[in-house]
Structure 1
Amino acid sequence: MSLFSLSASKPADVEFANPPSDSVSALAWSPNADLLAAASWSNEVRVYEVGPNGANQGKAMYSHEGPALCAKWSKDGTKIVSGGADNAARMFDAGSGQSTQIGAHDAPIKCIDWIDVGGGLVVTGSWDKTLRYWDLRQQAPVVQVTLPERCYAMDCVYPLLVVGTAERHMQIFNLNNPGTAFKTIASPLRMQTRTLACLPDASGYVLASIEGRCAIQYVEDSKTSLNFSFKCHRKDMAKGSQTFGSQFKTSSQQVFAVNDLAFNSMGTFVTAGSDGTLNIWDHNSRTRLKTIVEVGGPVVAARFNHSSQYLAYAISYDWSQGYQGNTAAQKTKIMLHPCQEDEVKPKVKK
C-alpha cells in the first residue's frame, strides 16, 4: 500500500500551530515516528506531533540559554540532542520530558549528530574550531579534533563524517579513526559553505554555498570523475523589481544562499533557498524533480520524515541583511508539504 496520496488534486501545504517566536535554525524528524523537532533563535527546541492529513500539535519544549542552532534525534527516536549559542550541548529525553547538559565548547555549537556505534556517542562541531566526541556516560569529551576553522556544516552517515568550515575547508573523517581527518580539501565551490549532507550510502556528500550552487563530491579518488556541481536558487530580476526588500536598478540575476539540504528515504534530496523556494533533486540522473515556489520568505530549514511522505520546511528571516533586515513583516512559519510520489521518487534509468 502506498503512503502517498492517490488523489488527483494535490493537497495544500499545512501550517504548524504555535511556531517559534524567532527564526528557525534547524528541523529534525524522529526516525520512526512523525515527531518534528525545531530549534530556533528564541532559545528553544520545540517538538510537534503530526497526525493524519498533516494535523499537528505541540508535544514538548525545552530551552537553551541562548539561540538553539542545531538538533538531531537518536536512531531509536527516544532522545534529541541539540547545541546552541550558549556553548552547551543538551539531551532531551522524550519519555521523561527532561533535558540535561551533556557537553560544552568554548564558543557556540553549530552542528551536532549521533554516531551509530552502540548509540552512545554524540559529535559536536563548534565555532571554537574544534570537533568533540562525547560518550554520554562521561563528562569530558573522549576525543577532540582541532579544525582548520570554525565549523559551519556537518553530517554523518556511518562511517563517514564530513565537516565544512569557514574559509572553505572540508574535512572528511572515517569514524573507525575519528581523531584524524581521512582527507582535507578545499571546497570545489568558490563561496562560503552553508550546508552539507552525506550521500545515503556514505560514498560521498553534497555541499552547498551562499552563492546558489551545490556540488556532489565522492570520497574515493577512483570516483572523482563522478563529481559535478550545479547552479540553483537564482532569479532573473528585471529593472525596478523587488525581492524581500531589495530593489534592482538594472536587469540582473540575483543569487541566493542554499540554507539547507537533506536526503529522503528514496535517495533524492531537497535544497532550501533564501529565494523562498525549495527544489527536490535526483543526483544520479542529474534531474530536478520538483520546485515549490514563492512560499513567502527565505526557507531556512527543510527535512523529510522517515517515510518521505512529508517534507517539513521553515520560513523565517535568514539574517543575510543583519539585524536591520529583520522586520516585523517577516513571520516565522513551519510548513508541512504532503509529498507526491513523483516528487521524491528517483527517475528510472532508461
Structure 2
Amino acid sequence: MSGLFGGGAANPTQGDLSKDVQVTNGPSDSISDMVFSPASDHLSVTSWDSKCYIYSISSNGESSGVAMLEHQGPALSTCWSKDGQKVFSAGADKAARMLDLAAGHTQSSQATQVAGHDQPIRCVESAMVNGSQILITGGWDKMVKYWDLRQQTPIGQLECKDRVYTMDVKDNMLVVGTADRWIEVVSLANPGTPYKVIQSPLKWQTRVCTIFSPEANGYAIGSIEGRCAIQYVEDKDQNGNFSFKCHRQTSTTDRNLSNVFSVNAISFHPVHGTFSTAGSDGTFHFWDKDAKHRLKGYPEVGGTISATDFDRSGNIFAYAVSYDWSKGHQANNQQLPNKIMLHPVIGDECKPRPKTGKR
C-alpha cells in the first residue's frame, strides 16, 4: 500500500516490527483507548471489559500493571492530568472517574466519580485553563461538559451538533468530531461557543480527530473510508489543507478495486511533529504532513489496530492490536488477538524529511 504519498513496500519505507514487545497482563476484551502520561513512564488503557488499566513502561519495553479503575460498563476513553498525578477514565456507564496516583491510590475502590452525562461518555480530556486543572467530557448526549475537580457540577458546557465520537485538546484548543461529520473547534478562552464549525472534508463518518503537535494550529481527521485529512484552523492557512488515501489494499481478485479500511487512530510525535495513522487493515504508518510524504509503512500485525500513542519522549510508539467493532458484534470472537504492543522508535523513523527549499 503506497497511499497518495508514493513509496510502495520498497525498502526505504518498509518498517521493521521485529523489536516490538508486548505489554504483560493486557485487558481481557477489546481496547478502546490508551494514553501515555505526560510526566511519567506510565500508560493508561481502557477496555470493553469495563476497566482502565495503568501500566508502568520502562525504556527497554518492560511493563507491569500498577493500578486499575473499574466502570459499570465498557470503558471508552482515558486521559491524564498535566502533572501526571491523576488518571481519568470514562465510559458507557455515563461516568468519568479519577484515580489519584500521587496519593498512593491503585484500586478502583479508591477512585472518585468526577463527571456524569445523560448518555455514555465517549471522550475525556484534561486541560489547564488560567492555571487551573479542568476535565472535559464529551458524550453521546451531544454535550461537552467542563469540570473543575473541586465541584460536583460542571462549570460550563457546549451543546454540539450531534453525538461526540472523538475529541482532542492541546494548549488552548479543543477539537470535537461528532456524528454526521461535524467538526467543532473550540477556544478554551471561550469554551461555551465554538470558534469554528465545519463539516469534515471527508465524505464518510469521522473516526478520529487529533490536534497537530507541537504547534496546535490544526488537526488531522481519519474516516471509516481509508482517508486522512489535514486541516488548519485559521483561514490564512487554508491552502495547507489536503487529504489523502491510506489503509487501503488492492483487491486480490480485481486490480481495479480497493478494499477500504477505517482509520482508527492518529497520533502526533511530540518532538518532530510527524504523525502516525493506524487502521482496521492491521497496519500503521508514519507520515510527514509538511512534505506530504510517507516516512514508513509497517507490515500487518495480525489484527485490527484500535488505538495508538507516543510516549512523552517520542521514543516508544504503543499500538493496540484489538477488535475495533467495525463489523459489529457478530464479528467479535475469542480467537481475535487482544494485546498492546510497544514499538521502539529508532533512527529516523519519525523524523521529517530534510527541507530542500522546493515546494
Q: Fold conserved (TM > 0.5)?
A: yes
Query: Are residues 1:274 and 2:280 paired?
Result: yes
Aligned partner of 2:29 among 19, 22, 25:
22
Tell whether the 8 Å contact from 2:285 to 2:294 is kept in structure 1 after alignment. Answer: yes
The aligned counterpart of 2:142 is 129
Query: Are residues 1:106 and 2:118 paired?
Result: yes
Within 5 Å, which residues of 2 pair with 1:144-155?
144-155=157-168
Tell whether the 8 Å contact from 1:87 to 1:104 is kept in structure 2 after alignment. Answer: yes
How many angstroms does 1:10 deviate by?
7.9
AA in 2 matched with 1:228? F
Aligned partner of 1:193 among 206, 212, 234:
206
The aligned counterpart of 1:337 is 343
**Deviation string for 1:285-326 (max 9, x for gaps)?**
111111122101000001000111100100111111111101
**Deviation string for 1:106-149 (max 9, x for gaps)?**
00111111112224211111000001000111101011111110
Runs of 4+ in 1 over 4 A off after TM superposition: none
**Deviation string for 1:232-265 (max 9, x for gaps)?**
00001212xxxxxxxxx99731000000111111
The aligned counterpart of 2:316 is 310
CA distance in 1, matches of 2:132, 2:157: 19
Select between 115-124 and 70-79 the one with higher mean Cα deviation: 115-124
Tell whether the 8 Å contact from 1:238 to 1:251 is kept in structure 2 after alignment. Answer: no
Tell whether the 8 Å contact from 1:75 to 1:119 is kept in structure 2 after alignment. Answer: no
How many angstroms does 1:32 deviate by?
2.1
AA in 1 matched with 2:60? N
AA in 2 matched with 1:111? C
Query: Are residues 1:60 and 2:67 paired?
Result: yes
Tell whether the 8 Å contact from 1:11 to 1:338 is kept in structure 2 after alignment. Answer: no
The aligned counterpart of 2:88 is 81
Tell whether the 8 Å contact from 1:310 to 1:337 is kept in structure 2 after alignment. Answer: yes
Unaligned runs of at least 5 residues, structure 1: 1-8, 240-248
CA distance in 1, matches of 2:66, 2:36: 13
Tell whether the 8 Å contact from 2:17 to 2:343 is kept in structure 1 after alignment. Answer: no
Secondary structure of 1:344's aligned partner:
coil
Query: Are residues 1:169 and 2:182 paired?
Result: yes
CA distance in 1, matches of 2:327, 2:18: 34
Identity of aligned residues (%): 48
**Deviation string for 1:219-238 (max 9, x for gaps)?**
11111111010110000121
Aligned partner of 2:97 among 90, 93, 103:
90
Secondary structure of 1:225's aligned partner:
helix
CA distance in 1, matches of 2:354, 2:83: 32
The aligned counterpart of 1:252 is 257
How many angstroms does 1:340 deviate by?
1.1
TM-score, structure 2 length as denominator? 0.90
Secondary structure of 1:222's aligned partner:
helix
CA distance in 1, matches of 2:204, 2:95: 29
**Residue correspondences, number:** 333
